[in-house]
Structures are given as structure tokens and as C-alpha cells.
Structure 1
Amino acid sequence: MKKLLETKAVQRGTHTLASGLSVVAQRAPLLKEAGVLAESVPSLFRLAAPLGIHFLTTHAVSGASTTVKPATGFTNPADATAGEPFNWIFRTSPETAEDYTITGLPPGVTFTFNPRAAGGYQYLAGSPSAGGTYQVTIIGWRYPNHSGGSEAKTTYNLVVNVATPATPWDSWREAQGWTAGQLADPAVSGPDADPEHDGIPNSLEYVLDLDPRAPSSMPGKVEDDPTSPATHYVYSLPLNPGATDATVGFEASSDLGGTGWSAIGPSDPTYPVTRTATEIRIRIPKNLGQRFIRLAASL
């Protein structure tokens, strides 16, 4: 009888101690889960079984055993393109954060906390306005007003890679067959370069859809204006419809000197200019005396 009472007392003590360890393990702020001791193990030997303790990653919410996790399908690093819509969805788990501090977002991307979001999911959304690599810091808070405990905060670090899309000019240059070295040399492939020495810079070769690696003649034609043939000419040139990033217009001068050229406005009453996707035309009076007109383009 005495032996039986001693055995039960030891069992009660063991139950109490094992239960106490489990509670401590479950409440520790850096513990993800506490292992449950198998019921099949005799009570006198339960303390010999190790507690299965797994530590969190450093992406933890301050004041709670919770991690910031991207929603399914959203990765870290995240990829975006300047000028195009971007969003990145995340939440905290298993606890739901009551507030967030987020810094380092790409320009054009914003975060507005929605405390009533379904499932606790939150959004980074917008259209990045500049390319680059951005280090975004996300801190989830256990309670509103950026609170949740006095212990050191831990954060989630998100990398957002924002690519700059190739412009039509870049695509045209790469399609010309220049080598990597020539593409990197502005004296060969830059907009002001004239590598084939035909008097037409690359920017105009692009606008007129000419071959910048072979000498070309300036396209276009001058003819009497069909609406007023006695008083006006019309100078027309075909345009590359893919050169959507180019500003094209005309310049006028009374001589061929390098400093005498002035831009002709699109609504100039003397030289009215019209442009479509495939052609640009300028109407020129015949009674102006000696006058030089040239096409100009900028990217």
C-alpha cells in the first residue's frame, strides 16, 4: 500500500512538471510549437522524451510567435516592370497583425493597411515609376498603433526588382546587327552617331526606318501643293510607325550654318506641319526666297 501511494505521488508530480514544461514551451515568444508527449509512454518515463521545439525564422512579428508570409504565388524576390501594374499580397500567420510599418517601397507602389481584410491579407500595389532593386522592410505589429511588446522587433525583408522596359529605340538598335561592343559605343550606335558617314544620324535613320550600317539617301519628296500649286510646296517624308518614342519635326534656316536653325512649331502659320503614324508633311510658301528646311528628331 505504501509503495502504491509513493508511485501515485511520483506520477502526479511527473504529470505536473511535464504539463508545466509544455505550457512554458507553448508561450515562449520564439517557439513555433511544443511537442506533445506520446500518451503511450508510461507516465513515470514521460520526462525522458525530448520536447520537439522548432524555432521561428527571423521573419517574426514583434510581440507574438507569428511570421509574415507571402500569399500563394507571390515570391521573394518579387519582379516588377516600371510603368506596369504590380501587387504583392501577404499576411501574418498564425496570428493576425493589427498594424504594419512598411518602408523602402518603389516609387509608385503604396501600402494601405486594411484591418478588416478577408483572411488578414494585405496588399502592396501600384505601378513602379523607376527601375532598380528595392529593399522593402515589413514589420507586423501585434496590436494597433505600432505596439505589441517591448522586446526587440524582428522584420520581414522583401526584395523588389523593378525592370525598365526596353524602349522602341532600344529594340531598333538591338535589331540592327551591331556587336555588343558597338552597342556600348555611342560613337557607333548612339543617336547622334553617323557610322556609315551618309550625313544621316542614327536618330533619323531610326525615325525614317533606314539601315544605319549602310549609306542611305534621304527619303521624301518636294512637290507642288495640290490645293494651292501656284503658291506653296509640300515636303513629305515617310516615317517609321514603330518610332513611337521619337519627337519629329522640322527646322528652318536662311543659311546652312550650324547656329541658324530654328524649330518650326506644329501650328506655325507659315509652315503648317501635319503628321500621321507613317508620314510627316510640311507646307512651304514659294515666295519666301532662299530658305532651308530639314527634318529633326529627338528621343
Structure 2
Amino acid sequence: MFQGSMVALVTPMMADGQLDWEGLHKLVDFHLEKGTHAIVAVGTTGESATLDVDEHLQVIKKVVDQVNGRIPVIAGTGANSTSEAIELTQSAKDAGADACLSVTPYYNKPTQEGLFLHHQAIAKAVALPQMLYNVPGRTGVDMTPETIARLSAVDNIFGVKEATGEMDRVEWLMANTPDDFIIVSGDDPTAVELMLLGGKGNISVTANVAPAEIARMCELAIAGKADEARALNQKLVPVHNAMFVESNPIPVKWAVAEMGLTQAGLRLPLTPLSEIYHQQVRDALKGAGLL
């Protein structure tokens, strides 16, 4: 159920930072039409850090209602407070999400035992499938493969989004977790290699602007068609790179606006894409046939 291209969906905003519901509707339609396999609503790319709780849940509910079961919807419900993460996860379940994406607690830097107990508590409290999310570059804490393997035995925890881009970790996890525990990429440049090792998909920033291409790339990689998957990925490398010239989601929100899909609004402390990068991002989109 959860595999392939899973877009880390941006949350459209107007110039004043208010949520752009019309833009959100347009984006969801865009992904349904272009073959995206699942939508991740209100993750890091969806600016979860600057949405209040009501907005967070409204976005999840609107995406769920519009998708209407056609593809899975995974709700970002992570927090650095276990009780808050449980509350968000329960609310996502009530809204009809198919699963949740739970990032490692950030800033307070828990121990590995703290990470284990945090995710276990969420899984025990809410009967919603949970995907772990390890992204030490943003959270300041790295969930080790050994801790992930421990959590893979917990009911309701079905997979991990591994965003380190380290293939030795992926190989270890493949060998030390149950066969039905899925591993997906959270790093666009290395996603093909992860899937060729047996990973089941990519939670992708690039899919916001290249949904059909990322979906096809994932299908090829999961099928083991290495040469074709790598060739398609090579064409997208400039786009992958352009999406991170400044902190995500600054470049990708500018890009989807440049494509005419949404407005380019952000909320402080994020700021609009610096003008020095406009041409690089525009050229990357044009080079991949996206503009």
C-alpha cells in the first residue's frame, strides 16, 4: 500500500502567510493526475513547524477528503513532546489519514532509549500505522539502525523514512528488520540506490515539481530496472540540487509558484528564495522539461 513516489507536499500560502486552500486543492489534483503514489501532508516540506495545530489538522483533513481513497495519505504528526505527538496522531487518525509519519524528537536530543520509548508510546496509544522518520541533519538526533530494528518489532510501526543517504545503513536495516518492514528514502539524490537495494519508495521533495518523473523513476527502481531508473534520475539531478540551494522548502515553494501551481508564500523565519538562486532553479526546471 505504501510504496513508490510519496510527495512531501508543500503547504500553499498566500503572500501574507495565510493558507491558500484553492492552491492546496490544485496541488492535490496535480498529483492525482500525474501518478503520484501517495501524499505526505504537513511534513517538514509542508512547513509543519509554522502551522498551528488547527491549521495542521485542517490541511490533513482537506487532503484526505479530496483524495477520497484514491491513493494513501500519510500525515506528518511528529513532535518533540511525546504527548503532543500522540495528540496529533490521534487527530490525524480521526481525520481519516492512512498512516502517520513521525519524526525523531528534535532539539531536546533524547537518548536511543528515549527514542524507542517515544515511538513505542505513540504506536501503543493510537491504532494508526506509523512510519518512523530519521533526519539527523534537521533534528539534531540520529536514530541508530539498531533502534530502528527494535522499533520494527512494535505493532503499528511499519517502516522508516531514512533521510541520511547512507546505503550501508540501508543494507544493515534490510538484513535486520522483518520482511514486511518497509524502508523508503528521504533523500532524493540517493533514492534510486536505496530502492535498488530493496527499498519501497521515496518521500520526495522533487516530486512537488516532477511528479510524473519521480513516479516513473520509483516504479523502475522498485522493479529492479537499474539502468533505466538511474538514467531518469540523472536527468533530474539538477532539479534535486536546485531544491536545496537554500533550506527546504524555500526553493521548492518558489519552484511550484514559478510553474503556476500556487503562490509563493512562506512564514517567518523562512524567507523567499534569494534572487541569486532564481535563475539556477528556473534553469533546472527548464532543463528537465518542467517549464
TM over 0.5: no
Q: Relative contact order: is structure 1 or structure 2 higher (C-alpha 8 Å, sep ≥ 6)?
A: 2
Sort the TM-score into its range (normalised by shorter chain).
under 0.3
Structure ID, larger Rg: 1
Q: Which has the higher strand share?
A: 1
Q: Which has the higher helix share?
A: 2
Instruction: Calculate the TM-score normalised by the size of structure 1.
Output: 0.19
